[in-house]
Amino acid sequence: MPQGKPENVPDDGLTTRQRRNRPLLIVHTGEMKGKSTAAFGLALRGWNQGWSIGVFQFVKSARWKVGEEVALLALGEVHRDTGRGGPVEWHKMGSGWSWSRRPGTEVDHAEAAREGWREIARRLGEQRHTLYVLDEFTYPLKWGWVDTTEVVETLVARPGNQHVVITGRDAPEALVEAADLVARMTKVKHPMDTGAKGQKGIEW
Amino acid sequence: MPQGKPENVPDDGLTTRQRRNRPLLIVHTGEMKGKSTAAFGLALRGWNQGWSIGVFQFVKSARWKVGEEVALLALGEVHRDTGRGGPVEWHKMGSGWSWSRRPGTEVDHAEAAREGWREIARRLGEQRHTLYVLDEFTYPLKWGWVDTTEVVETLVARPGNQHVVITGRDAPEALVEAADLVARMTKVKHPMDTGAKGQKGIEW
C-alpha cells in the first residue's frame, strides 16, 4: 500500500492527523524467516525519523543475530556523533540483561524473561522509546514464563505514541486480537529443506 | 531455525563448507508489508559481514521508502569513514537511474526498468556486489517490461557467491521455481482495514 490509502474511512470522529499518528502494536508471526529481519528493517525507518529505538531480544543465545545488532548500534553511534537519526539501545537476555548482569548466579531463563518484561513495562510507562522491538517475545508468552494477559493489558494501556513490534512463532491469540497489524511469514521454499546449511550474512 | 540445522543432508558430494556458501536467490512475495523491510533487514546482516550491498528500487516514486535508504547509506558512510561493515549503493528508478540521469527526456518506465535490469546483469557478470536487493522487481516482470525468462537464466548462471533478494507481489512462477528461498508475507490484520492512514516511520 505505497500510497497509504485506507480501504475504509471510519466514522470515529478522528482527524486524519490523529488517525495517522496512531501508536501501533505490530506482530510478526509464522514459521518463516523474515519476522525479526522485517522488525529490524522497521527500526531503520524509525531511526531515520529520529525515534528512540529499544530492541529487547528474548533469546538464550543471541550470537546468530549479531549482524543487525552491530549495524543498528552503528546507526546509534552516527546519531550520537552527528545528531542524525535517533538513538538505539540493544538489550539481549542471553545469560542476563545488560542492566542487571549478575555474574555467578545460576541463570533462570523464565525469571530473566519476566525481568525483561518488567523493564519494558517500566519504559513504556516512562515513554522511554518510540519504537520497541520485542524480538522472539512470543516464546516466553507461549511457555507461560510471562503472563500474556498482563502483557496485553500493559500494551493496550501504554501512554503516548509508542510503537511496539513483537516477533516469534505461535503468537498467543490474545496478542493477535490486541494487535493493530499482524503479518504472518509463511514458507514457500527454504534451502535447508534440501540440505543447505545456514550461512553468515543470511541467517545471522 | 536459529541453530542452522538442515532438515535433510543431501547426497550431492558437497562439503558442509560448500553447502554453507551457496549463493542464494531469495524471493519475498505476498500481499503484506514486510517484503522490502525484511530485505533491507537482510542488508543489515550483509553490511556487518563487510559485503558490498547494491539496492535497486524498481519504483516510480521512491519517496515513501526514504527511511531505509537514509539509514543504509549512513552505514555505507560508516564503512567509508571507519572501514567497519561494507559499502552500500542505493539506486532507484524514480525518474531515471542515478547512473544515467537524462534530464529533459520523456520518462519511459518500461525502458527505465529494462535499463535497470541490464545494469544489474552487468554487475552480476562483474561480481560487483555480494548482496543485491531488487526491490519491487516483480512488477516490471509481471507487466512484461522485463523478460522473466532472461532474468531467470541470468540469475541462475550468475558467477561466484552473489546473493540476490527480489521483492514484490505476484512473483512469476518461473522465478519462484528458480529461487532457493521464497517467503510469503500474508496479512492477518492491517490498521488500514479500519481506516488508519499510513504514518512516517512505519510505512516509509
> Could you tell me which CATH class the domain A20-185 is placed in?
alpha beta
Percent of chain A topping pLDDT 90: 56
| Complex-level ipTM beyond the 0.90 threshold | no
- Verify whether the Cβ–Cβ distance B64 to A32 is below 8 Å: no
Q: How many helices (H) and strands (E) does chain B have?
A: 7, 6
Sheet bearing A163-167, strands edge to edge:
A88-92, A53-57, A131-135, A163-167, A25-29, A181-189, B181-189, B25-29, B163-167, B131-135, B53-57, B88-92
Mean pLDDT over all residues of chain A?
84
Give the separation between CA B196 and CA A21, rounded to whole angstroms. 9
CA of A189 vs chain B CAs: smallest distance (Å): 5
pLDDT in tens, chain B (204 residues): 344 455 555 565 656 655 566 899 999 998 877 888 899 989 999 999 999 999 999 976 655 557 889 999 999 999 999 999 999 999 988 766 767 655 444 457 888 899 999 999 999 999 999 999 999 999 999 999 999 999 999 999 999 999 999 999 999 999 999 999 998 888 777 776 766 667 777 776
- Verify whether the Cβ–Cβ distance B38 to A38 is below 8 Å: yes
- Verify whether the Cβ–Cβ distance B180 to A200 is below 8 Å: no
What are the boundaries of each domain within chain A? 20-185
Q: Which residues of B touch A62 (CB under 8 A)?
A: none
CA of A116 vs chain B CAs: smallest distance (Å): 21
Give the separation between CA B149 and CA B136, rounded to whole angstroms. 17
Run of H or E including B85: none
| DSSP secondary structure string for all residues of B139-188 | HHHHTTSS-HHHHHHHHHT--SS-EEEEE-SS--HHHHHH-SEEEEEEEE
| Interchain contact B132–A (C-beta under 8 A) | no
CA of B160 vs chain A CAs: smallest distance (Å): 15
Q: How many CA atoms lie within 13 A of A47 on its CB side?
A: 32
A87-104 residue pLDDT tens: 999 998 876 676 765 544
| Interchain contact B144–A (C-beta under 8 A) | no
Q: Which residues of A20-43 are buried (b: 16+ CB within 10 A; e: fewer)?
A: bebbbbbbbbbebbbbbbbbbbbb
- Verify whether the Cβ–Cβ distance B34 to A38 is below 8 Å: yes
Q: Which residues of B touch A130 (CB under 8 A)?
A: 201
- What is the pLDDT, as a whole number, of residue B100? 63
For residue B139, count other CB atoms closer than 10 A to its CB.
Answer: 18
Minimal Cβ distance to B184: which of A20, A182, A186: A186
Q: Which three cell numbers stand for residue B7?
A: 532438515
Taking CA–CA distances from B85, the nearest residue in chain A reads A71
Tell me which residue has cell 501504554. A158
- Verify whether the Cβ–Cβ distance A45 to B204 is below 8 Å: yes
Give the separation between CA B142 and CA B145, rounded to whole angstroms. 8
- Verify whether the Cβ–Cβ distance B201 to A39 is below 8 Å: no
Give the separation between CA A84 and CA B104, rounded to whole angstroms. 34
Which B-chain residues 59-118 have CB contacts (< 8 A) with chain A? Answer: 59, 61, 64, 66-68, 70-72, 74-75, 77-78, 84-85
Whole-prediction pTM: 0.78
Query: Residue B151 contacts by C-beta under 8 Å, 6 or more apart in sequence?
Result: B117, B141, B175
Give the separation between CA A80 and CA A203, rounded to whole angstroms. 29
CATH superfamily of B20-100+107-167: P-loop containing nucleotide triphosphate hydrolases (3.40.50.300)
| DSSP secondary structure string for all residues of A135-194 | ETTHHHHHTTSS-HHHHHHHHHT--SS-EEEEE-SS--HHHHHH-SEEEEEEEEE-GGGG
Identify from B28, B42, B131 which residue to disrupt to test chain A contact, counting A C-beta atoms within 10 A and taking the largest count: B42
**Contact criterion met (CB below 8 Å) for B64 and B203:** yes
